[in-house]
Amino acid sequence: MVGALNTYVTPSGFWNPILWLIAFLISLLLAYIIWSRGEKSYKKETEQVKPFFAGNVIESKERAHVRAHNIYWGFVEALRPYYMALKRIHTGDVNDYVAWFIGVTSFMLIIYFLWGVKP
Amino acid sequence: MVETEKKVMARKLGRLVRAVWIFNWFNSCGCTELLPVVSSRYDMERFGLIIVDNPKHADCLIITGYQTIKSIKRVVRIYNQMPDPKVVMALGSCPITGGMYWDSYNTIKRLSDYIPVHMYVPGCPPRPEAVFQAVGLLVEHVRKLKEEVSRK
Amino acid sequence: MTEFIHHIPALIIVIPLLWGFATPLIGRLSKKGMYAWVVTALAITEALTIAQIYLVLTQGTQVYVMGGATYNTTIPPDSGGIPVRIILTVDAFSAFMAFTAATVTLAGGIYSITSEEGTSGESMYYTLLLLMLSGMLGMVMTGDLFNFFVFLEINSLASAGLIAYRVGKGISVEAAFKYAIISSVGALIYLFGVGILYGEYDALNLAMVASRMQFTGLDKVVMALFTVALAMKAGSVPLHYWVPDAYGKAPGAISAILVTASQASLYALFRVCFSLFGLGSNTLTTGWFLISLGLLSMFVGVTMALIQTDIKRLMAYHAISQTGYMLLGVGVGLATLGTAAFSQYGLQAMEGGIFHIINHAMYKGLLFLTAGAVIYRLGTSDLNKMGGLAHNMKYTTVFFMIGALSIAGIPPFNGFASKLMIYESTYLFNPILSIIAIVVSVLTLASFVKVFHSAFMGPKLYDVKEVPKAMLVGMAILTSLIILFGLFPNIAIQYLVGPAAKALANQAAYISSVMGGA
Amino acid sequence: MMYVLLALYIIAAPFIVGALGILYGMVLKGIDRKLTARMQGRVGPPLRQPFYDVLKLLEKECIIPENAVKWLFNAAPLIALAASITTLLYLPIGPFPPLFSGNGDLIVILYLLEVPCLAILAGGFAAGSPYSTVGSQREMVLMISCEFPLAAAIIALAWKYSSIYPGLKAFSLTTFVNNPIWNNVGVLGFIGVGILLIVMLALSTSGLGRLPFDIAEAGTEISGGMLVEYTGRNLGILYINDAVRVVVFATLINAMFFPYKLSPLIANYVALPLAASLTIDFLFYLFKVFLIAFVTVTLMRVAFPRYRVDDVVKFYWGIAGLATLAALILIVMDTFFGW
Amino acid sequence: MLGNLPYITVVIVAGIGIYAMMWKRNLIKVVIGVSLLESAVNLFLVSLGYRAGGVAPIYTNAPSTKMVLPTPQALTLTSIVIGVAVDALLLSFCVVIYRHYGTLDPRKVRRLRG
């Protein structure tokens, strides 16, 4: 047991997973104690369990599931120009793949020629 | 009611009364008079009453004004979706007797035909003091219930 | 028995190779026999890699001369100081990589027993799988430059064949075509570099060339060719376009194994930067090359993943962004190689990067297996057509949650241990590096929450059963390793990752292990 | 024998810290509602109101919606509260060092701040209702946006400490507490740390999901967002978790920027026994936590309307992000040029 | 000039191969580009081992004159074998792609993008 308790030291910090897990489980126990004092029952098959949709009924389960196609609208909207450029670069065309490869090789050739080796 | 059930109900209502979360169904003239209830002059929050935005969090459903045939379907569904110790407060004369729309073709006349109403607050529209008196009656009712249970 | 121990490096490569070609014969006899045959092959390789790690830890770098008089006469007496034959040099880093590759392939093999059941050409599938494994293990353990090219080609051809295995209306063949084109171009450019080195130093053995290296103008050309070709094979950003196509369209377990294949090329990139060129080259430039690759891969990979709608393609972009972490960690180690800062935080940054390799192989393999399980049951891989699988695919949901939490670096799991090491050592080199690393880890969490929501949560739309047992066993192996490395990172660092980082950083030891005789 | 003591310490620590977090959090919530009311000219609820709210919530029915994944739906609030309490273990409480001081540093706290949001988010998705799904998606966008300035602020401070005190562990909070940042920073550094303080205050508002940035539980737009389907005791636990998180964020900012103690000042006037100075420091800590909570929660709630979703991202990645990078540059210049 | 003539041809053939891969609008021509690059590298490997006046490095009853270096020829042998395997695989992919896509134009054969 002691072996597991040694902390995992990094250059400027430390971290002990076992202790963290024990503390987490005990606080989970504390939360469960508070939680268990509450009321457990609820009316199972009634209208109560239907999702709240401002009083209306959701026709089918299909429509109750919000699809994920633009889940991070806020984030993508804020970085609109970045994402447009990114979509343009990913063409999926074999010629562009090879072109990128040759381009980066020649770029790195220049970089290594300039600073490649210690003078 | 059986003895223990009354004790449980007394405890639940006792707790509910000190922190009533209201889901308002203001959809006609009743609500214009009720805005001061929330605002600083009458301030309902000093009794622990706050407006909540969905029925699943709410304890008290305040219905004001007339209910059309379309809207009563939603009111019934919302009433059913509220978790249990719940109270319904009907404000204004329209839910009591249909008010000035007593003979119109599409409003419903008596709210209690559709959902059990615990308190009626007459007035067209009712004044904020009337609303607080209704809540006071609820507190009174709970206090009486508690005494009765504790005497046994 | 002691004689057998010395032949372990060769056995590790040969067993999957021979066993793979014998599978169709066994397959003709009985289906069950073939499954047992494949699983025993994978289990034996896994056991041998574990034995090899133990040997390397106790006796130092293992050297094996192919066809030599005895197993470790690297320099025959009459050859005048030149190692003549192909030599497998297995130091702590390559043993560590071999163990990673063998574990994920074992899990993938067990997984694909049921996921590929009853499909056409099943015995060929396992042959290619074992061929791919022996290619990876060969790439990781060989000390010879040309031999590395041969194993690289074996691996690329086998994986291209496997990607195109389920033709799927031609789309996976298009993906395999692009993968094969770009990886053969990369391999040829690598071969061009090997030719230049052979022309200059008249030797093919990596340690031999490293000891004779004089860093002429031609060597700068070779540096460029090697680093870019291997960076492309490892899937870092400016050259990453084949990764989402290849991983996205490969059948179930293969994308999990492809991850370790690209990590073998990452191993080669580190081996070239550290052991071949080492301190002679301007480690700041090569270090900054790796760091900039890492930063680009991290950020572009994860931002592209946020907007994907295909589950496997999304996870492929994450493989790129997690490779960015490894490049960042080891890049900082390389940039500070030889300076005082190396001992302060450079070595720990490398340890973080290398620890991230095995963590990534574990949880990325697990995630690809869960994605394969979802596709196995639903038939579609489009996120918008999925929903509510958590209701009756309970185990897959739990495995997916563990995989998603560990890739996002949430504390108790293994992703956090290696990311913590990377954050807390690279920020001393330059604070911007670890700021971007932390932001990318939250974006990873965001995209896996998206997959978790659209695939597993929501009302029950499909009444699908849980996946068959063997697939769950495959996932369980990887999950147990994730939890083990998450809760006991110290043990992993002490026995697996620490020696690997020291072995990689120490070029002289690598050269002396081959050149300095036995 | 030592292990028994250690085991006792480990088992008792979460309970002590949990009790502190929950009770003081609820008191702070009461004060916050009272002050908000007073600022709006209203009388405001009694200070004990949060306790009444939780007691009432524990009495109500705990509905589990039909589309919900039952085990995750119920587990989410528990994990959220447990993670908030565990975070308190790694934070210095007033004069006392963090209870787990040698076992977790600032990065662990950074991720532990994420786990409650993640748990509630998973619960929101698990509920399977359209409102809760949209709410959870918005919460995820909020988490992404407020991560960049948070990470930049922490790394900037840690980098500053690592350059001044190379020997010390730059990410451990004891280094932050033992040598406060303000008095070993030059002029440029002072401005930089000032900017970081303002950004951290803005971040704690969005971390708590309070008004200007409560796009996740936007009452009027998506009627309760992630918490739509939660009722009864689940909602009670989430209410407590929200209270504890106020204490967590305020303690973190207090530890990073105001780790000062009151007792040394008083000590040179009147000799203080140890117990007295500890209680004075603890009360001073509680007052500082109240001040920070007041600024970040109450003031922001009264003064600002709710942001749109993409404006939140633009604010945090644009303005706040650039501010932290400018602060980082100022701190770097401060270290190298020593102004 | 004559001495490094083979190296110039290597550069030219490699250039043509890379040109074919980057600009040609037909997948089969791209595959031809790959094999061109592959043969350029093979030529480079073989020309490395050339010794003026050397004979083929066959040791059985070999004349006593100088021999050309044997190792690069061994490398080229393996590389040619690998080249054959790569080209076979790529061309079979082209056949299947043509059957499913109906075209071989890389601009059209890119359903996987973005």
pLDDT 10s digits, A96-113: 999 999 999 999 999 998
Read off the amino acid at residue D326.
Answer: A
Tokens for B129?
């003091």
Which residue does chain A place closest to B56, by CA atoms? Answer: A52
A7, A18, A90: residue with CB nearest C241: A90
Q: Is B142 on the interface with A (CB under 8 A)?
A: no
Indicate the domain borders of chain A. 3-36, 71-119
* Residues of A with Cβ-Cβ distance to E23 under 8 angstroms: 95
D68's CB contacts (< 8 A; 6+ apart) are: D126, D127, D128, D229
D37, D62, D232: residue with CB nearest B45: D37
Provide mean pLDDT across the span D22-29: 94
Looking at residue D320, what is its pLDDT? Answer: 92
The residue to which tokens 């206090």 are assigned? B143
Q: Is C177 on the interface with E (CB under 8 A)?
A: yes
C53's CB contacts (< 8 A; 6+ apart) are: C92, C95, C96, C99, C495, C496
- Tell me the pLDDT of chain E averaged across its residues: 89
pLDDT 10s digits, D302-328: 888 888 888 888 899 889 999 999 999
Tell me which chains share at least 3 CB pairs under 8 Å with chain E.
A, C
Residue B24 is inside which H or E element, if any?
strand B21-26
Indicate the domain borders of chain E. 5-101
pLDDT 10s digits, E15-36: 999 999 999 999 999 999 999 9
> C292-325 in b/e burial notation, b at 16+ Cβ within 10 A?
bbbbbbbbbbbbbbbbbbbbbbbbbbbbbbbbbb
pLDDT 10s digits, C312-338: 999 999 999 999 999 999 999 999 988
Q: Is the pLDDT of residue C406 over 80?
A: yes
Looking at residue C499, what is its pLDDT? Answer: 92
Read off the amino acid at residue C268.
Answer: A
For testing contact with chain C, the best of A65, A73, A83, A95 (most C CBs within 10 A): A65
Complex ipTM, two decimals?
0.91
pLDDT 10s digits, D117-141: 999 999 999 988 888 888 888 888 8
Structural domain that includes position B135? 3-151
CA distances to B45, C138, D236, D313, E7 from D239, in Å: 18, 57, 5, 26, 76
For testing contact with chain E, the best of C173, C197, C381 (most E CBs within 10 A): C173
Phi, psi of D215 (to 5 degrees): -65, -15
For testing contact with chain A, the best of D55, D233, D241 (most A CBs within 10 A): D233
Q: Is A21 on the interface with D (CB under 8 A)?
A: no
* Residues of A with Cβ-Cβ distance to D176 under 8 angstroms: none
Q: Is C199 on the interface with E (CB under 8 A)?
A: yes
Q: Is the pLDDT of residue C39 over 90?
A: yes
- The percent helix, strand, coil of chain E (3-state, each to 5) is 65, 0, 35
Query: Is E114 close to A98, i.e. CB distance below 8 A?
Result: no
Q: Is the pLDDT of residue C517 over 70?
A: no
Q: Is the pLDDT of residue C398 over 80?
A: yes
Q: Is A37 on the interface with B (CB under 8 A)?
A: no
A49 band by pLDDT with thresholds 50, 70 and 90: confident
D339 band by pLDDT with thresholds 50, 70 and 90: low
Torsion of CA C150, C156, C161, C166, to 10 degrees: 160
* Residues of B with Cβ-Cβ distance to A55 under 8 angstroms: 73-75, 77-78
- Tell me the pLDDT of chain C averaged across its residues: 90
CB D230 within 8 A of CB A52: no
Distance separating alpha carbons of residues D227 and D236, to the nearest angstrom: 11
* Residues of D with Cβ-Cβ distance to A43 under 8 angstroms: 61
Query: Is D224 close to B59, i.e. CB distance below 8 A?
Result: no
Give the single-character DSSP code of C237: G
Distance separating alpha carbons of residues E106 and D242, to the nearest angstrom: 55
Q: Is the pLDDT of residue C154 over 60?
A: yes
D43, D52, D61: residue with CB nearest B18: D52
Distance from CA of B104 to the nearest CA of D (A): 32
Give the single-character DSSP code of C272: I
| Residue spans of alpha helices (H) in E24-70 | 27-48
Distance from CA of D287 to the nearest CA of C (A): 31
Q: Is the pLDDT of residue B1 over 70?
A: no
Provide mean pLDDT across the span C454-471: 87
Chain Cα centroid distance, residue C324? 13
Query: Is E90 close to C184, i.e. CB distance below 8 A?
Result: yes
Domain count, chain B: 1
pLDDT 10s digits, C332-355: 999 998 888 888 889 999 999 999
CB C168 within 8 A of CB C46: no
Looking at residue C518, what is its pLDDT? Answer: 44
* Residues of D with Cβ-Cβ distance to C423 under 8 angstroms: 107
Looking at residue A1, what is its pLDDT? Answer: 45
Q: Is the pLDDT of residue B134 over 70?
A: yes
Domain E5-101 has CATH 1.10.287: yes
* Residues of D with Cβ-Cβ distance to A38 under 8 angstroms: 57-59, 62, 232-233, 236
Query: Is E27 close to A94, i.e. CB distance below 8 A?
Result: yes
Provide mean pLDDT across the span C48-57: 93
Query: Is C181 close to E34, i.e. CB distance below 8 A?
Result: yes
Query: Is A92 close to E112, i.e. CB distance below 8 A?
Result: yes
C270 band by pLDDT with thresholds 50, 70 and 90: very high
Tell me which chains share at least 3 CB pairs under 8 Å with chain B.
A, D
Indicate the domain borders of chain C. 282-487
Looking at residue E1, what is its pLDDT? Answer: 65
Which CATH number do you get for residue B69?
3.40.50.12280
C17 SS3 class: helix
* Residues of D with Cβ-Cβ distance to B83 under 8 angstroms: 60-63, 231-232
Q: Is B18 on the interface with A (CB under 8 A)?
A: no
Query: Is D219 close to B83, i.e. CB distance below 8 A?
Result: no
Chain Cα centroid distance, residue B28? 16
Distance from CA of A108 to the nearest CA of D (A): 29
Strands (DSSP E) along C127-209, which ranges? none
Q: Is D246 on the interface with A (CB under 8 A)?
A: no
Distance separating alpha carbons of residues D165 and D175, to the nearest angstrom: 9
**Do A and C touch, counting CB pairs below 8 Å (3 needed)?**
yes
Distance separating alpha carbons of residues C59 and C53, to the nearest angstrom: 10
E41, E90, E112: residue with CB nearest C245: E112
Distance separating alpha carbons of residues C53 and A7, to the nearest angstrom: 24
